[in-house]
């Protein structure tokens, strides 16, 4: 018959692994194979790797024509919850017409000096 190990507690396993790694790092430091700065950088990198990063928040309103994408480059769907205001663009009156007698046959003149 095969030997069956009792189910392991994940919290106890994590604590055991932490103590074992700290013991190995302490031994390597004591023997002179790693410096204190190297041990600290290994522990700092392990802490940063163990914490899951929070997803970045999207910034505020974007310019028209902006296409949102994920970090992998996949396009995101449009947010259709924000109401769109349609401006009133109706004409209020006729624009003033130019006098045809004074503008007929004349070209516009640009006054500039080139030095």
Among candidates 56, 49, 2, which has minimal Cα distance to 21? 49
pLDDT of residue 57: 73
| Residue 90 phi, psi dihedral angles, 5° rounding | -75, 150
Token pair for residue 17?
């692994």
Q: What is the DSSP code string of 22-86?
A: HHHHHHHHHTTSS-HHHHHHHHHHHHHHHSPPPPPPP-S---TT---B-TTSPBPPP--SS--PP
pLDDT band at 23 (very low <50, low <70, confident <90, very high): very high
Question: Cα 74 from chain centroid?
Answer: 13
Asked if residue 85 has pLDDT above 70, the reply is yes
Answer yes or no: is pLDDT of 1 > 60: no
Torsion of the alpha carbons at 76, 80, 81 and 82, rounded to the nearest 10: 100
Residue 97 is predicted with a pLDDT of: 67
Residue 115 has pLDDT above 80, yes or no: no
* Single pTM value for the model: 0.39
């Amino acid at each position: 018959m095969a030997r069956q190990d009792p189910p392991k507690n994940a919290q106890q396993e994590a604590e055991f692994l932490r103590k074992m790694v700290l013991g190995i790092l302490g031994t390597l430091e004591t023997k002179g194979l790693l410096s204190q700065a190297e041990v600290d950088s290994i522990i700092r990198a392990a802490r940063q790797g163990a914490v899951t990063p929070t997803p970045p928040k999207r910034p505020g309103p974007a310019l028209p024509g902006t296409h949102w994408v994920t970090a992998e480059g996949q396009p995101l769907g449009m947010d259709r919850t924000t109401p769109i205001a349609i401006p009133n663009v109706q004409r209020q009156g006729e624009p003033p017409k130019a006098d045809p007698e004074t503008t007929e046959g004349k070209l516009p003149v640009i006054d500039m000096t080139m030095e």
